[in-house]
Amino acid sequence: MDFAFFLIQLLNGLQYGLLLFLVASGLTLIFGIMGIINLAHGSFYMVGAYLAWSLASMTGSLAAAILLGVVLTVLLGVALEWLLIRRLYERDHLYQVLLTYGLILVFEEMRSILWGDDVHGVPVPALLAHSIPLTENLSYPVYRLVISGVCLLLALGMYLLIARTRLGMMIRAGSSNRDMVQSLGINIRLIYTLIFALGVALAAFAGMINAPLSSVFPNMGGGVLIICFVVVVIGGIGSVKGALVASLLIGLAETFGQVLVPEVAGMIVYLLMAAVLVWRPEGLFRKL
Amino acid sequence: MHAHGRMLNAILIAAVVALAAFPLAGSTFYTQLITKIMIMAIFAMSLDLLVGYTGLVSFGHAAFFGLAGYALALMVPKYEAASLWWTLPAAMAACAAFALVTGALVLRTRGIFFIMVTLAFAQMLFFVFHDTKFGGGSDGIYIYNKPHLKLGETALLDLEKLDHFYYLVLVLLVAVYLVLRRILGSTFGHALVGIKVNEHRMRALGFPAFRYKLAAYVISGALAGMSGYLAAVQFGFVNPEIISWHQSGAVLMMVILGGMGTLYGPAIGAFAFVMMQELFSNQAWFGAYAKHWQLAMGVTIILVALYLPQGLSGLLQKFGRRKEAAEAEHD
């Protein structure tokens, strides 16, 4: 493996890992703060990708589609939390699993009714559709670098939100003692709604920006969901920092696995998870 | 309570008699459908041991179901039939072994973690069969010859025949129910329920909670394997879909829909679930939307999670209790 090839795989692995982080961070926040296991999280990724495709073909611009799509998915998140998720806070995880599993079926069939079952490509915006040459015959697409950059910015934004703002303080407090926070006069319900909508929008956003690379196809959310579960298990529940570390770890492991040992590439992440479970059953990080 | 138990036994015996008589009257289609339902009932009861009694919400139970199916497909020689006497125990043993290894890992976690990790291990198995040649890839493997069941040289049952297979499944369903009831009536079974309610207290009382949970996990996995084996025999092929998380979701739904922690509830749930599938995908009734039957299924699942937490058997019990109370008042 020469250096340019290695560099390409490294960048691909990081980009994939950062994308996973966007989905997994919402998942881990919803687990950690609201105590909700959300199987439908992968569906939001799928909804995002389909929104990007349909809105981009309507407006002719991926940027406009993403902007519009984010607004729509935030509204979707607020509506879902209001209508359904809210009723699950006091309930056993079992019912959370069941209800959100039902949601997956609903989303998947709605997708089939509204958008059909075909695979669609989404063009990379013309402005970003070139590559940076690395050697004579190897080059790296700019769009992938842009995705990584945007994901990094969002990760930084999320860190600042949680660590440095008043809202972040309420979120942290809410995750450690819900009742105490409420009795101090903070509207924890509103915070839960915000967190859920944020998680939905982040997952959908990941689906949107990745649509030009992955294309758009039925059941695309399932694979992402399960990988993100592995991320959360490795990183530690409710830990955004853990989600970042684990996402990058898995992104790199899977990318290099596919190049070096393609026969067992599908299993690598699960073996990694098993190893972490033996070593630290609670995950690598335990704090928000 | 005893009157309640006697009544339940009477109903269950009546149900078994009705099932035993069914192939005499039912068409081929419905005999096959009921066979499928009974197989799913075994699957759902095996999960009830974990979810309903031990408090372990597994979202990866399809792993055992699929593993046993694949075990059969790989054990059967291509052009001749294998014996059920050793393929069924071997398939169940494979599941027990898989449960022992993964159980030792997944039981280190609890709550949400447990749900995710069981799902992840099932998905790992999915990829093992999906990505490798020996598992036939995404196309799966055909099982051309159903296993034979002989005593010495005489064939006891011919599983190619619909009703023979039906009765085999019925006998196994009853056997699994009785075995599980026996297990749950033992000290071990009571300890499992104790672990569900308060694991710390059980440990303080000197029960080795981890080993008990692992034992329950292994038993449950082996019984799920039995149902997966039977399903593979019935359909004559296996593919990775039988390990998919939709299968794990479906069986969990059967347990809740019927009423967890009752054993017979999940069997009712299996019946209701498969019947709903048939209903929602009925083209004569739903026309073009029959293709989208999962939408109605999804909405039903959401409604059950919100409004029917104790399932159908909980509904019946509530009704029965109200009646009992009314009668007591009358006296």
- Taking only the tens place, the pLDDT of each residue in A31-68 is 888 889 999 999 999 999 999 999 999 998 999 999 99
8 A C-beta contact, residue B51 and residue B58: yes
Q: Range of B160's domain?
A: 26-242
pLDDT at residue B315, as a whole number: 82
Per-residue pLDDT, averaged over B259-272, amounts to 94
With respect to residue A74, please indicate whether it lies within any of the assigned structural domains: yes
Give the side-chain half-sphere CA count within 13 A for B25.
Answer: 5
Whether B210 is in a domain gets the answer yes
The residue of chain B nearest to residue A226, with distances taken between CA atoms, is B120
Q: Please name the residues in contact with A107: beta carbons below 8 A apart, sequence gap of 6 or more.
A: A40, A43, A46, A47, A221
Contact call for B105 and A278, based on CB within 8 A: yes
Which among B101, B102, B107, B112 is the top mutation candidate for probing chain A, defined by the most A β-carbons within 10 Å of its own β-carbon? B112
B113 vs A contacts (CB less than 8 Å): 233, 237, 281-283
**Residue B330 pLDDT more than 70?**
no
> What's the pLDDT at B113?
84
Looking from the CA of A81 toward its CB, the CA atoms found within 13 Å total 22
Q: For residues A101, A103, A104 and A109, what is the CA-based torsion angle, rounded to 10 degrees?
A: 140
Task: Rounding to the nearest 10 degrees, give the CA dihedral for residues B173, B176, B177, B178.
Answer: 120
Residue for token pair 């969002």: A154
Residue B1 predicted with pLDDT over 50: no
pLDDT at B265 over 60: yes
User: Is B17 inside any structural domain?
Assistant: no
CA distance B260 to A18: 40
Is residue A212 a part of any domain in this protein?
yes
Q: How many CB atoms lie within 10 A of CB B114?
A: 21
Residue among B131, B245, B305 minimizing CB distance to A98: B305
Best B56, B113, B255, B289 residue to mutate vs chain A (most A CBs within 10 Å): B113
CA-based nearest residue to B105, from A251, A231, A270:
A270
- To the nearest whole number, what is the mean pLDDT of chain A? 90
Query: Could you tell me how far CA B170 lies from the centroid of its own chain?
Result: 14
- Residue B310, classed as helix, strand or coil, is coil
Residues A101-158: tens digit of each pLDDT: 999 999 999 999 999 999 999 988 888 888 888 777 788 899 999 999 999 999 999 9
Cα separation, A133 vs B324, whole angstroms: 81
> Residue A180 falls within a domain, yes or no?
yes
Type of residue at A12:
N
Is A263 within the bounds of a domain?
no
DSSP string, B248-299: HHHHHHHHHHH-TTSSHHHHHHHHHHHHHHHHHT-HHHHGGGGGGHHHHHHH
The more confidently predicted of residues A277 and B87 is B87
C-alpha span between A103 and A99 (Å, rounded)? 6
Of the candidates B278, B290, B223, B276, the residue with the CA atom closest to the CA atom of residue B64: B223
In chain A, how many domains are there? 1
Q: Is the model's pLDDT at A1 over the cut of 70?
A: no
Prediction ipTM score: 0.89
User: Is A130 among the domain residues?
Assistant: yes
Question: Is B31 part of any domain?
Answer: yes
Q: Are B103 and B211 contacting, i.e. CB atoms less than 8 angstroms apart? A: no
Looking at chain A, the whole-number percentage of residues with pLDDT higher than 90 is: 59
Q: What is the pLDDT of residues B169-213, one digit of tens each?
A: 999 999 999 999 999 999 999 999 999 999 999 999 989 999 999
pLDDT at res. B331: 58
Determine contact, residues B325/A119, Cβ cutoff 8 Å. Answer: no
Q: How far apart are CA A152 and CA A25, in angstroms?
A: 13
Chain A residues at the B interface, defined by Cβ less than 8 Å, are 31, 35, 37, 84, 87, 91, 93-95, 97-99, 101-106, 108-110, 112-113, 222, 226, 229-230, 232-233, 237, 263, 265-267, 270-271, 273-274, 277-278, 281-283
pLDDT at B152 over 80: no
The answer to the question of residue A261 being in a domain is no
- Residue from B302, B303, B310 to probe the interface with A (highest A Cβ count within 10 Å): B302
Domain containing A213: what range? 21-220
Report if residue B152 sits inside a domain.
Answer: yes
Identify which of B123, B297, B300 has the shortest CB distance to residue A226.
B123
Mean pLDDT, range A247-272, rounded to an integer = 88
Amino acid at site B300: T
In chain B, % of residues over pLDDT 90:
60
Assign B2 a pLDDT band (cuts: 50, 70, 90). low
Tally of structural domains, chain B = 1
